[in-house]
Amino acid sequence: MSLDAPPTRSHGDSAAEPPSQSASDAVTTNDSRPPTGWLEAIIVFAAMTLTAVAVSAVFKDFAWLAPVLVSVGLVVLVGAVFRSVPVLRSSGTAVIAQCAAGLVAVFVVCAKGTLLLGFIPTGSSFGKVIDQLSAGVSDLYATAPPAASTPGFTAMLTIAFTLITILIDGLVADLRAPKVGGVLLLVLWMIPVYFASQEVRWWHIVAILAAFLLLMLSPYLPATRWRGGMTAVLAGALALAIGLGLPLLLPPVPSLPDRASKGQGDLTVTNPFLNLRQNLGDRDDATLFSYQTTGEDSDPVRLTSIDDFDGENWAPSPFSLDPFAIATDGMPWPEGMPRDKNFKEETIDVAIGDEYDQQYLPSPYAPQQPEGVDRRWIFDEKTLTVVGNGEKTGGLQYSMDYLSPNPDVKDLQSATPVDKKDFDTELEVPDSLPASVQETAERVTADAENQWEAAVLLQAYFRGGDFEYSIDAPERASGDAISDFLADKKGYCVQFSSAMTIMARTMGIPARIGVGFAGGEKADGGFDVSMQDSHAWPELYFEGAGWVRFEPTPGGPAGDPPKWTLASGTAENEDSDESESASPSEEPTEETSAAGNDESEEAGDEETSTQAAEPAGANLTTYVWVGVIVLALLLLAAIPAIWRSILRSRRTKDPHDLEAVWTEVRALATDYGQSLDPSRTLRFNELVLAGTLPTAASGSTGTTGGAGTAGRAGTAGGAGSSTAGGAASGGAGPAAVEVDPETGEPLRRSAAEVAAGSSGTTEESDGRVGAAERSDERLRRLQRPAPNEPDDRGRDDSALSAFVDALEAKRYGAAAESLDDSEVRALIDEVGTDLSERATSGNRISAKIWPASLFNRPK
Amino acid sequence: MEGMSISQEGTQTNSVIGAEHIEWVQHLTSRARTAMNAVLEGKDEAVGLSLIALLAGGHVLLEDVPGVGKTLLARAMGKVVDGSVRRIQFTPDLLPTDVVGVNLFNQETRHFEFRQGPVFANIVIADEINRASPKTQSAMLECMAEGQATIDGQTYQMPTPFIVVATQNPIDMEGTYALPEAQRDRFLTRISLGYPATADEVDLLDNQIQNDPLESATAVTNLEQITQARTIVRHVSASRQLREYIVAILQATRDDQAILLGSSPRGGVHLLRAAKARAALSGRTFATPDDVQALAPYILAHRIIPRDGDDSDLAADLIGRVLARVPVSANQ
């Protein structure tokens, strides 16, 4: 056919705008809110202030607060100015200006003296800032919470707050993504949670909670869209519950040793790892430290005790370090030691040289309370080892009260075997240990009537003359170092003490190795200790006496065996000078090579991980389980939501597939409990989705009975249901045509206008129709059998309308319509928001966590 | 409208019409409608429907109580489109030849000559068609369906456009014969006018006493434009999805337990044609389910026979129920 000439358009008829254009309009109009930059600035500032209140948990005082708040305020102010003043706003440089302002603020706070004119940074300013920061880092180690606000801390917090304020302000004001900003707030919240969880009180939590919610709500504060805000509040509360609840649920113990061990990571000089295969090299005789003691000179000065043996190496079994187990506050009573006897109270004064810089505080066993050391010296209650939490011994002068074990032989003889459960590690024998070792032990101790006698016999076995002291490790003859030593009968204290310890263990006596220094060289009233004095010795545990030292090493720095280790029961108190004279130096420890050091660090790390759960025992296990279960439940609960979002992205990933997008829209409606009637047309459903449907008409949507059809016939008759007052509108179907006085009115007007010679006036009259009447009008027009104007008149410029236009044209007009990604996003957002605003709160929640469309899938 | 011309051979369905054609039709209809509304107070919907029938090339059955303006509507339409208008008052004794025409023997030429009956006009007003005997009513069948009449083996074409506007009093009134089912099916739509709204009725009393409302009606278009508009409407596109929807509706009327006799396939044809016309009125180049749904009660109701008595309200109700049951699209 030929439609040879297009009809001329003599009047300015309404040419419907292309749908795509109105769609993009919708996107922009939705986003272009009035410049409420100031409100957002206030919100951000308030949120940051609340966060600062939360962070104040870490500090004793509030001196740090003023610089932080001033910096934050400055940044926010600059942002607000740049976002509200039109000229600056169009420049889009708000964030850059904020960065500059933040920089100035940081310099003013951190490097005041170096600035030109009080605010222009000079070359030295940068160095000053770096200095302040590193001061802050060292303060971090030096202080226990609650901390004083040192310049270093103030600098760190000012920088952190300023940076995060810039980010959050940008997110809230420019990107309209306050939720991400909320996450950044939680980053700051990690400061008190991580460093001072004990100091966190409820108001800190309330403060951070309020800050978080404030940010979440910020998009809703300007408008009155509180219902959408409720969703944000819910989401925020849920996120916070997870973020706050889990750390609180898990006791602080696991996290703290982590930090302590970090401080311990650079454990350097005295390596508590002993290797049985290593030869003893030459060792320095420079004085490491000097001491004077009220006790017996022969008591070795111990660093720590180690009990974990793998057949070749000794290592400390992992122990947790509680930074609040502060040594100067006093340490617990030594394990197993009776409180009324078998010990002597002594005091040692120690002066450590600057070079001897390591983390174990030397003291004879069993240390009770040091004096003159920092509160960062903390103890392990099992071994009574005192270690520095970031502190080292270099240059330290202190005195230490200690309890020197002085067991009565009778008590030792009557000691009953221990309950093996209590001494897992101290009784553990490596799997690789040859049976010959135990056989030897049994042979040697065949005559023993009790454990003490067995121990005494073991010591006598080593000291009996068969064994020879040598600074060389035994030949590697078999796979096992102990049996090699027993065969070779040559070695130094590490081999002797290891062999005795392990043999004692095979007989059920808990045993470990003490590591430290033996005696030392006598010098003006005290003793000087050098590397040559380093020593290791077995400590055996007897019920009723506690840990008791033995001395199987027949030479080297080792002194005479303690009196209670001699069969006679009478201590031969030998001259301790002997130990000084002992030229061959044996000791194990220090020398360990670089490899050994690495090892120690690794072991240190391991320590923390394996150790973490132990101290809290059953209690902690319960917490962990509760935490795991809660997490699992949360994950389970999140599955529908995750599945739902997968479905959504699958449906919306191809913006050309309009039907798939429509499926997603319908699924959204189902989620919010407003399923679309499949017998309704796209445009009708558009009205349903936009929520502009008059109640009477929407009432008939779902019903299928007679009433519903009457409603449908009634509306089909062209009578606006909301004006049912019109005469005879009860007559359904064709009978109802033209009974609505509303219908007549615009017609009469247009007739009059035609008579007056004007045309196209219907548009004008339509333009006068108020927004409130529009939806009603649209439905009426939609269902009029013979509409007298284009049916897209009066539709809002919503993404939904544009989409319906496109889909309709594609379905019925064979047009190659498609959307772009942003239009699809705008559509889903718009529909979701509209639905959510109208849904009941129950529907709103279930739409998020239990989307109905998963179970009632749109086909 | 002078620029608008559509050649008569333009009947292939594959040609494409543009928005400008649709606008032209809209404009044309809107003027006709305005003119007719000036005659009939407050009957916009009925006027619109009769214009849809005009554009779709269908016949209109006006059914209502006497005196609400049925005849006036038909005459107004005739006047507005500037076509020949004939009126046939159906009475029980009206014969088929009174309608169609008769061959008379011309004494002078000694030949039979066909004398056209009143049905040969662009607009035929069949007043009170249900008062005529079934025999006479059926004489209308061929004219309405085929657009032609056959008398004594001779076939005579009806003029174009040809539209029958039949009025009918409700069948339970005295002296009426129910319109045969086959004949009812030939009407595109059945319209009830209903009583006017109060305000309109007051105006009507004033206006009609002062002067004849038809006096004010002027021809705002002509037959050729109507023919062109019809061609355009015929080319409004109807996708397969839409046609499937219509068929689904038809089948649903046949399966419905409450319906004794469902819609004929011709009902579907008429529904689609009307939907196209409505699409044009709405400014679209394609018909949508909105068109179908809005029109279905007017197009299908008189073609079905409800089980519970032949009542037009009930029939429209049943169509509404069917619409509520049929999914519009596979993706719904």
Q: What whole-number distance in Å separates Cα of residue A682 and Cα of residue A371?
A: 84
Q: From the CA of B91, how many Å to the nearest CA of chain A?
A: 26
Which residue, A239, A236, A238, A255, is CA-closest to A247?
A: A255
Contact predicate B250/B265, CB 8 Å? yes
Those residues with Cβ within 8 angstroms of residue A561's Cβ, 6 or more apart along the chain or in another chain: A459, A463, A550, A551, A552
In 3-state terms chain A splits into helix, strand, coil percentages (rounded to 5) of 55, 10, 35
CB-CB under 8 Å, B331 with A663:
yes
Closest CA in chain A for residue B196: A739
Contact predicate B127/B90, CB 8 Å? yes
Which residue in B48, B298, B326 is closest to A679 by CB distance? B326
pTM above 0.90, yes or no: no
CB-CB under 8 Å, A790 with B332:
no
Closest CA in chain A for residue B238: A812
User: What is the DSSP pairing of strand B148-151 with strand B154-157?
Assistant: antiparallel
**Which one is predicted more confidently, A817 or B318?**
B318
Q: From the CA of B98, how many Å to the nearest CA of chain A?
A: 32
**Which one is predicted more confidently, B245 or B145?**
B245
Which residue, B199, B166, B183, B214, is CA-closest to B50?
A: B166
CB-CB under 8 Å, A732 with B191:
no
Contact predicate A511/A499, CB 8 Å? no
Which residue, A784, A752, A746, A780, is CA-closest to A766?
A: A746
Q: Please report how many Cα atoms fall inside a 13 Å half-sphere around the Cα of residue A656, on the Cβ side.
A: 2
Tracing tokens 């409720």 back to the chain, one arrives at A230
Per-residue confidence (pLDDT) for residue B205, from 0 to 100: 80
Q: What whole-number distance in Å separates Cα of residue A364 and Cα of residue A346?
A: 9
Which residue in B44, B294, B323 is closest to A679 by CB distance? B323
Contact predicate A300/A497, CB 8 Å? no
Per-residue confidence (pLDDT) for residue B69, from 0 to 100: 80
Chain-centroid distance, C-alpha A109 = 29
Which residue, B215, B129, B119, is CA-closest to B167?
A: B129
Q: What whole-number distance in Å separates Cα of residue A572 and Cα of residue A483?
A: 31
Q: Please report how many Cα atoms fall inside a 13 Å half-sphere around the Cα of residue B14, on the Cβ side.
A: 0
Per-residue confidence (pLDDT) for residue A729, from 0 to 100: 34
Distance set, CA B167 to CA A253, B60, B62, B132, B140 (Å): 94, 8, 4, 12, 13
Which residues in A37-75 are b (16+ Cβ under 10 Å) and which e? Answer: bebbbbbbbbbbbbbbbbbbbbbeeeebbebbbebbbbb
Which residue in B34, B199, B324 is closest to A708 by CB distance? B324
CB-CB under 8 Å, B320 with A709:
yes
Report which residue type is found at B56: A
Strand order in the sheet with A274-275: A274-275, A313-315, A308-309
Q: Which residues pair with B163 in a beta bridge?
A: B123
Closest CA in chain A for residue B284: A790
Three-state DSSP state, B59: strand
Those residues with Cβ within 8 angstroms of residue A327's Cβ, 6 or more apart along the chain or in another chain: A361, A367, A369, A370, A373, A377, A378, A379, A386
Distance set, CA A784 to CA A527, A682, A728, A761 (Å): 111, 16, 17, 20
CB-CB under 8 Å, A659 with B7:
no
Q: What whole-number distance in Å separates Cα of residue A501 and Cα of residue A482?
A: 10
Q: Annotate A349-396 with DSSP letters as a single string.
A: EEEE-TT---SBPPB-SSEEEEESS-TTEEEETTTTEEEESS---TT-
pLDDT over 90, % of chain B: 25
Residues in chain B closer than 8 A to A786 (CB atoms): 44-45, 47-49, 51-52, 278, 281
Interface confidence (ipTM) of the complex: 0.85
- Rounded to an integer, the average pLDDT of B300-305 is 90
Q: What whole-number distance in Å separates Cα of residue B307 and Cα of residue B315?
A: 10
Chain-centroid distance, C-alpha B141 = 14
Contact predicate A373/A366, CB 8 Å? no
**Chain-wide mean pLDDT for chain B?**
84
Q: What whole-number distance in Å separates Cα of residue A238 and Cα of residue A492?
A: 63
Per-residue confidence (pLDDT) for residue B277, from 0 to 100: 93
Question: B202 touching A, CB under 8 A?
Answer: no
Per-residue confidence (pLDDT) for residue B7, from 0 to 100: 41
What is the C-alpha end-to-end distance of chain A, expressed in Å? Answer: 40
The total of other beta-carbon atoms located within 10 Å of residue A424's CB is: 11
Calculate helix-pair angle for B289-300, A682-690, nearest 10 degrees. 110
Contact predicate A542/A548, CB 8 Å? yes
Sequence-separated contacts (24+) of A230-233 with Cβ below 8 Å = A230/A841, A230/A844, A231/A836, A231/A844, A231/A848, A232/A179
Residues in B 11-30 with any Cβ partner in A closer than 8 A: 11-12, 15, 17-21, 23-24, 26-27, 29-30
Q: What whole-number distance in Å separates Cα of residue A493 and Cα of residue A468?
A: 11
Q: What whole-number distance in Å separates Cα of residue A825 and Cα of residue A800?
A: 11
Q: From the CA of B327, how many Å to the nearest CA of chain A?
A: 4
Q: Annotate A677-696 with DSSP letters as a single string.
A: PTTS-HHHHHHHHHT-S-HH
Which pLDDT tens digit goes with each residue over B54-110? 999 899 988 877 778 877 888 888 888 888 888 888 888 889 888 888 888 888 888
**Cα dihedral value B209, B210, B211, B216, nearest 10:** -120
Residues in chain B closer than 8 A to A733 (CB atoms): 192, 297, 301, 312-313, 315-317, 319-320
CB-CB under 8 Å, B285 with A681:
no
Which residue, A457, A319, A431, is CA-closest to A381?
A: A319
Confidence of residue B275 (pLDDT cuts 50, 70, 90): very high
Gyration radius of chain A's alpha carbons: 42
Those residues with Cβ within 8 angstroms of residue B86's Cβ, 6 or more apart along the chain or in another chain: B118, B119, B120, B121, B123, B124, B125
Tracing tokens 């796979």 back to the chain, one arrives at A479
CB-CB under 8 Å, B4 with A7:
yes
Which residues in B87-96 are b (16+ Cβ under 10 Å) and which e? Answer: bbebeeebeb
Residue A505's H or E segment, with its range, is helix A493-506
- Rounded to an integer, the average pLDDT of B301-317 is 85
Collect the ranges in chain A with pLDDT lower than 50: 1-35, 224-227, 250-270, 569-618, 694-772
Which residue in A7, A683, A728 is closest to B194 by CB distance? A728
Which residue in A3, A10, A812 is closest to B242 by CB distance? A812
Task: For residue A634, give both structure tokens.
Answer: 């949360």
| Residues found in chain A | 859
CB-CB under 8 Å, A755 with B194:
no
Per-residue confidence (pLDDT) for residue B269, from 0 to 100: 94
Distance set, CA A213 to CA A164, A203, B48 (Å): 17, 15, 57
Distance set, CA A176 to CA A40, A44, A216 (Å): 10, 12, 10
Residues in chain B closer than 8 A to A727 (CB atoms): 195, 197-198
Mutate to test the interface with A, among B5, B27, B221, B332 (most CBs of A within 10 A): B332
Task: For residue A85, give both structure tokens.
Answer: 């003043």
Per-residue confidence (pLDDT) for residue A759, from 0 to 100: 35
Per-residue confidence (pLDDT) for residue A428, from 0 to 100: 83
